[in-house]
Structure formats: structure tokens, C-alpha cells
Chain A
Amino acid sequence: MVAREILSRNYKQVIYLGLFLSLAIPLFNPIGLPVPVQKTTLGVYNKIESLKSGDVAVIGSNIGAAIYAEVYPQYIAILEHLLRKPGVKILLVGHGTEAPIWAERALKELNAYNRKSYGTDFVHLGYIAGEEAAIASLCRDVHSLLKVDYSGKPLSDLPMMKDIGSAKDFAIVIDFTASADSQYWLNQAYASYGTPVGFGLTAIKVPDAYAYYMAGQIFGIIESLSGAAQYENLIHKPGMAVTGMDAQSLAHLLYIALIIMCNVIYVTQRRTKK
């Protein structure tokens, strides 16, 4: 009777508790469910694999606290892959205010400053204000927009930046974001300079991006935590995303069970009323 009373009065809280347990248990005891690799993720992986020494990969680091859980594992996996590629130059830039904090955190987490030479192999430009106008200026001429990098070093002192002028010098752009601003790189880098663009997105933005993927306008999409888990497996470095996928699968099973259960209760109640 007590259980029934609690369920009828606090059913929302009971569902939240169930969800919490379904997410928490696999995080402590990973089940190891398989994570099949999608074509969209493979597109990004193959594009990075095809990069040659001297190619410049631009990383749009528009991560924030609100999307950290979905996009940060993707960001880490892509950066790790790029750092492993010998001679490939990485240019980090963001038009989100929190972008530089997360970019620096990722670089430190991956030990990039010791693995590669700053200024020769990678440069962090930090945050640029102005949304699409800033991206347009960056694509037109990096040096006229920015004189210094994130830490205040003059760009003219960084050897890598001497060979980079406009978007014509970018081999690829991968933008990590949660909002419509992924469109900026498509509008400015792809449409104006033909630079190949790929996305690392939150789940809610993925259906939008599929239109571009299907039309061949982007080379790939990393889709939320599942895309990050796939990428971690591709680069043989399982991390936060792979662990999280077990929890997500179990929570999905809980949702399916709840939907079936609620429908069964609804149909049964309707029949008894009749």
C-alpha cells in the first residue's frame, strides 16, 4: 500500500530515481555493449587519415559547459587523432565565449604542449567575437583579423602562421558546436573557398546536419556521445564516451520499458472503464 501511495503521488521522482540508477550502475560496472561505427563518423576519420604533412586542420572549439558532456569527448578524440598525425598543423579557434577555456583544458589533458611544439605544430587563436562576420574575416585573412594568439604572442612570431593566410590554406575545418553557428563555416569556408567542412555536434543538431551530409556538402558528422564513442574506438583510445554509451543504452531500454508499460496501463484502464 505504501509503495502504491508513493508511486501514485511521486511517480515523477520514482522515474528519476530509476533513470539515475540505470545511468549510474553501468558507469561503475561497464557492460561493454558494442558500439557500431556509422558512416558519418567514418567520414571524419577517413578525412583526417588522408591529411598529409603540412596540411592545416582548423578546429572550431565552440564548447561550453552546457554541451560539454556531448561535445567535449568528440573534441578530445579528434584532437588526439590529429596530434598523432605527423606534420599536420592544428589551428584552434572559437566563436563561443567559453571556447578557449575548453580548448586549453583539452590541450593540457592530451599533453599537447609536450607532445608537439607550440607555434610550429599547433596554434590556439582563442575566442573571436563577431559570429559569422568574424568567421568571414578569418577565412579572408587571418592576420588582418588577429595580431596575437590566445596567450598574447604575436602571430608573426609563430612559424606555423607564416604559411597560413586565408581559408584557401585550410585543408579541413571541423566545427564543434551545439547551435546554428555550424552554418557559419559552411557559408564562409566551404561556399566561398571550397574548404572541406565536418561537424562535431550535439544530438539535437544532427538531423539538421544530415541534410548537408546527404547533399555531400560536409565530409562527416560526429554525433553526440555515441559519435564520440565510435571515434574513441576507431583511434583505439576508449575513454569517457565509450563508458557512457553503456549507461545511455540502458537508459534507452528503461525509456522503452516505461513507454510500453504506460501504454499497457492506459489500454487496460480504458477496457475496465468500458
Chain B
Amino acid sequence: MIDSATLSILISTTLILAIYTILYRENPAFRIGEHLMVGATVGHAIVLAIFQIRDLAWRKFQSGFATGNLSGIAYIIPMILGVFLYFQFSSKLRYLARISIALMLAVGLSLSIRGLIFVNVIGQIQGALAPLTSIQNIVYMIGVVCALLYFVYEQRASKLAGPLPKIGRYVLMLTMGAYFANTIMGRLSIVIGTLTSVFVAPAWYLIPVAFLIVIADVFIRRKSSTAS
């Protein structure tokens, strides 16, 4: 008799291997795995969203309504605005959805603008103006100045800057190289994490099975292509 933990390991490993079969070619096993993943994630998100509406708005509205507390009753407003969002699908009532979207954008912008300016403008300028006492700070300063000069498109200013915009271009290329290298490192980490969870008994018994299925498919396809 298989216990629930073993069964869960076997199911997850089967799905992992099904997803990885895309490396061989597009196939139904991959599609099943992909659709299950998307379905499970969306299903979980919907359930959580419903719970959030219940806990953060509906219950507060209910208690406000029962006690006559206006701040509690006011929770009906965000719930109505939430419903308005679905009018996006109606050509006649689309303007109602725009009210909610406009409010969401306004709240989001007003909330983040202060922090964004402090963190991304003031803080970054302060950081760039660090005392040039170490090689790291000097390189940082040169990088910032040159990268900024690269984006000065005015001809006379570009001439005055001499080779600095070109250095700026190399700085940008180095940064993008770092992004790309980090992306590869990240993707490898994901594979390692997946393999770590697959290389446990009894999950790893499924690996040779998957390989055998792929090899069999290669031979069947090859035979049918030579026959035709």
C-alpha cells in the first residue's frame, strides 16, 4: 500500500518529468503537465482572493452593518468598485470599469511616488556621490557618468564628451552581460532544485522510465519516417 507522502512524491516527479519532455519535443505529456500547473496556480489564487475579500472587506462590512459603525459599512465601496472591474467585458458599461482602474492607478501612484523618489532618485544620487576613497567607488562614479553620457544625444555635447559615451556603452553592455549570466545561473539553480527533489527514493525510479519512453519514441518515429 502506497502512503500519501510517497504518492505525492510520485505524482510530482511524474509531472516534473512530463514538463521536461519539452526538451525532446512538443508532446501531450508536456501539455498535461503545463495545463495542470496553470490550473492549480489559478485555482489556488482564486480561492485565496475569495478568502481575502471575505476577511478584509466582507466581514468588516458585516460587523459594521450590525453595529451601525460607518467605517465598517464603508467597506461596501471597495467591493462595489471591485465588481465594476468586470464591466470591462460590457461595451455599454465599460466606463464603470474605468472608475475602478483610475482609482487603483491613483492610489498605487500616490503610495509609491514618495518612496520611489526617495529610493530611486535621492538615494541613488547620494550613493553615486560617495567619497572617491576606494577603487570600487571610483569605478562606480565613472560608470554612472559614462552611462548617463551615453544617453545624451545632443551632437555638440556628445562631441565635448569625447570617448566617454563609448565607455558608457561598454558599461551598459557589461551590465546586460551580468544580467544574462545571472539569468543562466538562476535557470541552472531551478534545474538543480528540481533534480534534488527528483533524486529521492522512490521518485528517481521514474527517471529511467521517462528516458526509455523517449528513446522508444525516437525509434518509432525514425522507423515510420524511413517506411514512408
B195 close to A (CB within 8 Å): yes
Asked whether, in the complex, the Cβ of A204 is within 8 Å of the Cβ of B48, the reply is: no
Closest to A101 in B: B44
Residues of A within 8 A of B (CB): 12-13, 16, 19, 23-24, 27-28, 65-70, 72-73, 97-98, 127-129, 131-133, 136, 145, 147-148, 183-184, 186-188, 190-192, 202-204, 206-207, 211-212, 214-217, 224-226, 240, 243-244, 247-248, 251-252, 255
How close is A5's CB to chain B, nearest CB, in angstroms?
11
B28 close to A (CB within 8 Å): no
Residues of B within 8 A of A (CB): 23-24, 37, 41, 44-45, 48-49, 52, 55-56, 107-108, 111-112, 114-116, 118-119, 123-124, 126-128, 140, 175, 178-179, 182-186, 188-196, 199
Q: What are the residues of chain B within 8 A of A70 when measuring CB–CB?
A: 186, 189-190, 193
Q: What are the residues of chain B within 8 A of A129 when measuring CB–CB?
A: 48-49, 52, 56
Asked whether, in the complex, the Cβ of B195 is within 8 Å of the Cβ of A186, the reply is: no
Distance, CA A184 to CA B108, complexed state (A): 11
Asked whether, in the complex, the Cβ of B196 is within 8 Å of the Cβ of A98, the reply is: no
Asked whether, in the complex, the Cβ of A248 is within 8 Å of the Cβ of B188, the reply is: yes
Closest to A129 in B: B52
How close is A250's CB to chain B, nearest CB, in angstroms?
10
Asked whether, in the complex, the Cβ of B119 is within 8 Å of the Cβ of A204, the reply is: no
Closest to A245 in B: B192
Closest to A213 in B: B127
Asked whether, in the complex, the Cβ of B182 is within 8 Å of the Cβ of A214, the reply is: no
In the complex, 11 of the A-B residue pairs with CB atoms within 8 angstroms, ordered by the A residue number, are A70-B186, A129-B49, A133-B107, A187-B112, A203-B183, A207-B179, A215-B123, A216-B126, A224-B182, A248-B189, A251-B188
How close is B68's CB to chain A, nearest CB, in angstroms?
19
* 19 further contact pairs, Cβ within 8 A, besides A69-B189, A211-B127: A27-B196, A65-B37, A69-B193, A70-B189, A97-B49, A128-B52, A129-B48, A129-B49, A145-B56, A187-B111, A187-B118, A191-B114, A203-B183, A207-B179, A211-B124, A212-B119, A224-B182, A248-B189, A251-B188
Q: What are the residues of chain B within 8 A of A183 when measuring CB–CB?
A: 115-116, 119
The 4 closest A-B pairs by CB, nearest first: A69-B193, A215-B127, A187-B115, A203-B186
Distance, CA A27 to CA B195, complexed state (A): 8
Contact A72 B193, CB 8 Å, known A16-B23, A190-B119: yes
Q: What are the residues of chain B within 8 A of A184 when measuring CB–CB?
A: 112
Asked whether, in the complex, the Cβ of B115 is within 8 Å of the Cβ of A217, the reply is: no
Q: Point out which of B49, B178, B179, B191 has the most chain A C-beta atoms below 10 A from its C-beta.
A: B191
Q: Point out which of B37, B123, B178 has the most chain A C-beta atoms below 10 A from its C-beta.
A: B123
Distance, CA A68 to CA B190, complexed state (A): 8
Distance, CA A188 to CA B112, complexed state (A): 8
Q: What are the residues of chain A within 8 A of B127 when measuring CB–CB?
A: 211, 214-217
How close is B36's CB to chain A, nearest CB, in angstroms?
12
How close is B205's CB to chain A, nearest CB, in angstroms?
15
Quick one: which of A131, A207, A212, A240 contacts B193, CB cutoff 8 A?
Answer: A240
Asked whether, in the complex, the Cβ of A244 is within 8 Å of the Cβ of B196, the reply is: yes
Asked whether, in the complex, the Cβ of B185 is within 8 Å of the Cβ of A203, the reply is: yes
